[in-house]
């Protein structure tokens, strides 16, 4: 697995945690607008098509800026990021279902 794509991650998260996935999609669209995604990548490039190292940096911003450094070097561990992102989805979805987080 060289990235977190629709087939190996995002489709499952969307099915299991639809509210959190909706917020993720809103967040990633806003992020793309802020950085000028279309001027950096072509219009057809989707987040899930990026190599994991690029996804990693973007996901660190979503997850609160955690750096994942080990001995001064970035640790690009796809399984660790998958676990952290899954935890984010579970907690976010539960907060929305409990009425503690607005989806707008």
Share of the chain above pLDDT 90, in %: 36
**1 close to 78: Cβ distance less than 8 angstroms:** yes
Q: Which residue has the higher pLDDT, 3 or 104?
A: 3
The pLDDT, as a whole number, for residue 76 is: 64
- pLDDT at position 66 is 58
**In this predicted structure, what is the pLDDT of residue 30?**
92
Q: Name the phi and psi angles at 4, rounded to 5.
A: -95, 100
Whole-number mean pLDDT of the chain? 84
Region 53-80: mean pLDDT is: 75
Cβ distance 21 to 62 under 8 Å?
no
Specify the 3-state DSSP secondary structure of 74. strand
**What's the average model confidence in pLDDT over 52-61?**
86
Statement: residue 45 has pLDDT above 70: yes
pLDDT score of 39 more than 60: yes
Q: Are 11 and 25 in contact (CB under 8 A)?
A: no
């Amino acid at each position: 697995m060289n990235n977190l794509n629709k087939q190996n991650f995002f489709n499952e998260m969307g099915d299991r945690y639809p509210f959190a996935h909706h917020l993720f999609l809103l967040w990633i669209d806003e992020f793309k607008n802020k950085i000028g995604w279309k001027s950096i990548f072509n219009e057809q490039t989707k987040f899930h098509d990026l190599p994991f190292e690029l996804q990693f940096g973007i996901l660190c911003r979503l997850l609160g800026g955690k750096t994942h450094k080990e001995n001064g070097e970035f640790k690009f561990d796809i399984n660790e990021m998958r676990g952290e992102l899954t935890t984010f989805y579970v907690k976010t979805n539960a907060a929305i279902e409990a009425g503690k987080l607005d989806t707008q």
